[in-house]
Chain A
């Protein structure tokens, strides 16, 4: 579970009001916490400055700004009182992106215009666009694996490197076929897929010369998943009935004008439609968080590293809060505040994670893997580095 720390997690959501030292999750863990969060200083200024410099350098500073933000976020994570260190560089990220740009994005962009130039039929054009649309999807697993490997290899604690062993292609292939099966199984493959991908990623995760092990199964996830699945359907039906009710109201209140035609929607009706939509979305987010929270906590409990185990205590309300506030923060600031959102997500995980059992650090040797030369181009390009 160590490497949960190195991920930008899409779901987490910190409770705003839970002070660091009073969190309730370590009730069962006596003694000082092994993993703690020391808030980074000046992060707002850093975010604003990065946004400004990115525009002034026509986007190029993005990679260096991102690297500086990561260095600060990593350093805020303390294990046994000592900080993690991020040793990646902006140059590595930039080179990775350029390679993806030249090898994938530019050919894709040009290909997208080819049917227009050759004058393909409408259907042919449509099929071609669909095919192009699926390229990022097909490369998703590839990018996710490489991005994770890069970040782990650039992460150190007490000078010892992390790493991700195993080959990219088998993982990418598993990712593709399990994703393709999601619609075919009406979503029922989702928990099984999550456990399978987690196993592939965590059994390969290393710190130093010792590996993490993950023994989670999908069975416990299904206990919650079936309820999520059925509530989603119920929610959908209820929302449709509610929308219909709004329109039925219209019919009863004021019959169509004699000349035929439709009356425009009143403001009250529009407001009710928006309210129904938002309520349904919020309810679904809560139900999903109820499942995700269980999944995170269960996955952590099934992860071990060199004699120690992990306990994670995410809760539904806090997850929804973190996800919602982080989403709003990113959108309303046009992405400028995303370093803060990333720090909040990391803080959430760190403050709710506890390490159980002693580790014999002297027995953990340096990671022998050779360093990768390049950054996380694909993930950077397609935004898939979160899992």
Chain B
């Protein structure tokens, strides 16, 4: 966590205090202290001891989705730096196991991440394209759902659980402004979110690499 904090401090210094007075524009993002972003994309996670244990216990993967979504709200704190509250969907997998007689047992987990991010903008000759680096820390939660039968005649019982952990997110992106206040963005990076966890202490890394595209809006009035 220490390196994340240091990187964040460096980013703030680099952008707020030493952001290249030669290239900095006095009207960069003028009148745009607030922002909203919506995006979607694709992500990929690796297998893990957690998944292998499920397979050892007779589960086979029914489906997994690489779909990722992001929602973020931002507030510019100085000319080239903004703070975001960001929400990401992460890994989502479904498993099934033959229960012998009747409907199969099933297990599903869906992981979400949210946190505070710092985004450093790189000065560009004009405002049409903007590049940025982003780093964030926060919480991640895996919603797990096990459906199994506890007696021969009863229907399956569902056991839901929410498991919490942290996440560290790093992204690089570019934003192309289609108007003064609206842009389209493309970013990609890596999320580390070690959740869910089983009773053996094995964790699945629900983050992994991701690529997102979306729309952003910048608005507000500076004083």
Query: Do A and B bind?
Result: no
**Residues of B participating in the A interface, judged by any CB pair closer than 8 Å:** none
**Residues of A participating in the B interface, judged by any CB pair closer than 8 Å:** none
